[in-house]
Chain A
Amino acid sequence: MTVSSAPLIKRLLLAAASLSVVLAAALVAALSSGSGGDGILRSLSVVTGQGAPDPALETIVWRIRLPRALLAALAGGALSLGGLVFQALLRNPLAEPYILGIAGGSAIGAIIGILLGLSHFPGVSLCAFLGSLATLVLIVAMSTGQSLVKKDALLLSGVMVNAFCAAVIMFLVSMTQDARLHNIIFWLMGDLSSADGRAVATLAAILAPCFGGIFLFSHAMNLLLMGNDMARSMGLHLRSVTAALLVVTSLMVSAVVSYSGLIGFVGLVIPHLLRFVWGPDHRVLVPACILGGGAYLTACDILARSLPDQGEMPAGVITALIGAPLFIFLLKKTRR
């Protein structure tokens, strides 16, 4: 063990341990709160396995809330990791899958899949992946051009890609006249209510290798942040690393979008918060983002479920209410 790696491992373990606790707390809170199950304490007794057995409440906690909490945790982890990767690759603190339009691209793909009547997996997920790849190519093509190296230009192009995606989505929605419409609109705003055991298992199976793969590239991301020349001189094969990271990240984001719709700004809030606490080293930040992002979206979904008296609101509403002001704040700060 070299001298410099000792604090890193310590930091890594500390971050992983403390954020695991936060995530576990968020999951327990998610299991204990909801529209049914009269009260947090009664639900908690089911979670902890105490109290008189109550089959209805057990069904609510384990078969309705648990899949939903896990889906929120997986989606939150993937989205904030996506933000972290884009911020490193594009060397732009404001990059985020939603802001860049990647999520919008996968939404178009997913809606086309839904309208074609494809099954959720693999049909709709594959369409979402193709949609996100298409927008990704567009963004990379624009951001590698000479005139678009500036931060604002990249964001502007993201805004335009997003506007275009929104128009295509509205076009597709306007062309449809059936019961699916209502669900599509709700899904578009980021909806986790469709979660069931199979969705969670499928998403976990897609995301786990992506998480692992990105962690392997975490040192490369550190080098990328030092600039292309520096990274190259450190022996990094820039092209292949960038390409691999982009494909893996868009696979991750599109998988999440196809299950939970458009949930924005998670990839902005969490990486910034975690960088503030744990420093800029991606070897710590990658696992921290997975755990912290999971806890964050789980918490946002609790709010989305419990704030309205009747029914619920999409989780994307909460993340945008928190994330958009932060985005403006960061934009002002980076300008200074």
Chain B
Amino acid sequence: MQNRLFNILKIAAIAAGLALLAGSPADAKFVTDQAGRRVEIPDRPQRVVSLAPSITEIVFALGREQILKGVTSYSDFPPEASGLPRVGSYVRLDLERIIELRPDLCIAVKDGNPKAAVDRLQALGVPVYALDPRSVPTVIQAILEMGAMLNAEDRAERLVREMRSRIDRVTAKLVGTGHRPRVFFQIGDAPIVSVGTNTFAHELIGLAGGHNVAAGSAAYPRFNREQVLALAPDVIVISSMDRAGSIERTRQEWGRWPSVPAVRSGRIHLVDSDIFDRPSPRLVEGLEQLAGFIHPEIFGGFK
């Protein structure tokens, strides 16, 4: 009899312990996200849905993909991300699919995800933490914040340290170079679209020792052929927004305009747009590529 009571007590104790353990992920704290919203997020999120390809990349870079339960379309890096459930594109989120995945945390990008959809998710009881990466330093900040949120602080520290040292390696080599080649970074073909001051590509061109000829307040300024000829870029970088392969045609198109220095010297380069427009750790890769294009005399062997 005594024994049985003890057994019952033991079972009760185990059950209570289990309940506590199970309860711990539900512990939550209030934080202010990068969009200035007060949100309650769990201490130890277990079911995270990423609302942008860049967020997906960061989650994988932090080694926390096991708690990633859903991603947006075009989340194609690393390749393993392609196997995760899709929740619509980052501008057109499929709320039903998100709710169905029962996330305890969604991570959004302030300038990409529509505010209405984020507010809607929040109203439906899903905590949404919005990041606002606008430059390389703020991307680094976002990675650190995500590390803290996803209980991967050490990994985030390491990742950030590596990014910083790779950036420093590029900028250190450029010290004392007064020459800033003129760069035209083309992201669209018809019409010709380039990148203004408020973009990652602009920032990377500057860090890589170049001068963005399209600098200006418009984020994605449109150009006609004549205007680009007048800008006389030394380097043209064409980024593949569409993945259909028309990018090579765009390069050949420039071949008809030998008055452009970049055409004359054959300095037209094709790049993958994902590493220049996603606020992800791969921006550093973009910087190294650009440095090689803009200052081959210094970074000849970089690539």
Binding site for B on A (CB under 8 A): 34-38, 56-57, 59-60, 63-65, 177-179, 182-183, 186, 193-194, 196, 310-312
B164 at the interface (CB under 8 A from A): no
11 more CB-based (< 8 A) A-B contacts, given A34-B96, A36-B97, A59-B124:
A35-B96, A36-B94, A36-B99, A37-B100, A56-B100, A60-B100, A177-B220, A183-B114, A193-B92, A311-B73, A311-B88
In contact, B88 and A179 (Cβ under 8 angstroms) = no
B86 at the interface (CB under 8 A from A): yes
Chain B 206-218 against A: per-residue CB contact (8 Å), 1 yes, 0 no?
0000000000001
Majority SS of interface residues in chain A? Answer: loop
Known: A183-B91, A183-B114, A310-B73. A37 touches B96 (CB 8 A): yes
Known: A179-B111, A179-B112. A57 touches B73 (CB 8 A): no
CA distance A310 to B96 in the complex (A): 12
Closest Cβ of chain A to B52, distance in Å, is 12
- Among residues of B, the one whose C-beta sits closest to the C-beta of A193 is B92
Q: Determine the chain B residues whose CB is within 8 A of the CB of A57 once the complex forms.
A: 100
Q: Determine the chain A residues whose CB is within 8 A of the CB of B88 once the complex forms.
A: 310-311
Known: A56-B100, A310-B86. A177 touches B111 (CB 8 A): no
CA distance A50 to B124 in the complex (A): 22
Q: Determine the chain B residues whose CB is within 8 A of the CB of A63 once the complex forms.
A: 124
Binding site for A on B (CB under 8 A): 73, 86, 88-89, 91-92, 94-100, 102, 111-112, 114, 116, 120, 123-125, 218-220
Q: Determine the chain B residues whose CB is within 8 A of the CB of A64 once the complex forms.
A: 95-96, 99, 124
In contact, B219 and A36 (Cβ under 8 angstroms) = no
Which of these, A60, A310, A311, contacts B99 with CB under 8 Å?
A: A60
Q: Determine the chain B residues whose CB is within 8 A of the CB of A310 once the complex forms.
A: 73, 86, 88
In contact, B91 and A182 (Cβ under 8 angstroms) = yes
Known: A36-B100, A37-B96, A179-B114. A311 touches B124 (CB 8 A): no
In contact, A60 and B96 (Cβ under 8 angstroms) = yes
Closest Cβ of chain B to A41, distance in Å, is 15
Closest Cβ of chain A to B142, distance in Å, is 18
Q: Determine the chain B residues whose CB is within 8 A of the CB of A194 once the complex forms.
A: 116
CA distance A194 to B73 in the complex (A): 20
CA distance A64 to B121 in the complex (A): 10
Q: Determine the chain B residues whose CB is within 8 A of the CB of A37 once the complex forms.
A: 96, 100
- Among residues of B, the one whose C-beta sits closest to the C-beta of A65 is B96
- Among residues of B, the one whose C-beta sits closest to the C-beta of A34 is B96
Q: Determine the chain B residues whose CB is within 8 A of the CB of A311 once the complex forms.
A: 73, 88-89, 92, 94
Interface centre among B91, B92, B111, B116 (most CB of A within 10 A): B92
- Among residues of B, the one whose C-beta sits closest to the C-beta of A61 is B96
In contact, A196 and B97 (Cβ under 8 angstroms) = no
In contact, A177 and B92 (Cβ under 8 angstroms) = no
Closest Cβ of chain A to B80, distance in Å, is 19
Sample (24) of A-B pairs whose CB atoms are under 8 Å apart: A36-B96, A36-B97, A36-B99, A37-B96, A37-B100, A56-B102, A60-B96, A60-B99, A60-B100, A63-B124, A64-B95, A64-B99, A65-B96, A177-B218, A178-B219, A179-B91, A183-B91, A183-B114, A193-B92, A196-B120, A310-B86, A311-B89, A311-B92, A312-B92
